[in-house]
């Protein structure tokens, strides 16, 4: 009887660990996606003149330029391989 209970407890613990690991990895993926999107938004807000949006005064953008090397790389990569933004958003949702 005790072996049966131990096996059940072990199975529940293993299931719990698996679900915990699965949810942690999904949370990490979503945070990475959100971070990339926020970096893109920041780049568009500060360098929006390149795409026809209103931008902050040029001297502010030029002061930020040395610190925004990575954002410029993201923007040029986004332009080179532009995809459907709605497809990116809906790909984050689980299929029903």
Domain extents in the chain? 2-91
For 19-72, write each residue's pLDDT tens digit.
Answer: 888 888 888 888 888 888 888 788 777 777 666 777 777 787 778 778 778 777
b/e sequence 44-70, b meaning 16+ C-beta within 10 Å: bebbeeeeeeebeeeeebeeeeeebee
Q: Give the predicted TM-score (pTM) of the model.
A: 0.51
56: DSSP letter: S
């Amino acid at each position: 009887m005790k072996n049966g209970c131990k096996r059940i407890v072990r199975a529940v613990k293993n299931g719990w660990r698996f679900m915990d690991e699965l949810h942690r990895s999904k949370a990490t993926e979503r945070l990475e996606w959100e971070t990339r999107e926020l970096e893109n938004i920041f780049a568009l807000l500060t360098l929006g003149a390149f795409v026809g949006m209103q931008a902050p005064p040029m001297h502010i953008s030029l002061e930020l330029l040395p610190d925004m090397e990575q954002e410029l790389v993201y923007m040029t990569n986004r332009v080179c391989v532009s995809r459907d933004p709605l497809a990116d958003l809906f790909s984050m949702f689980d299929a029903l």
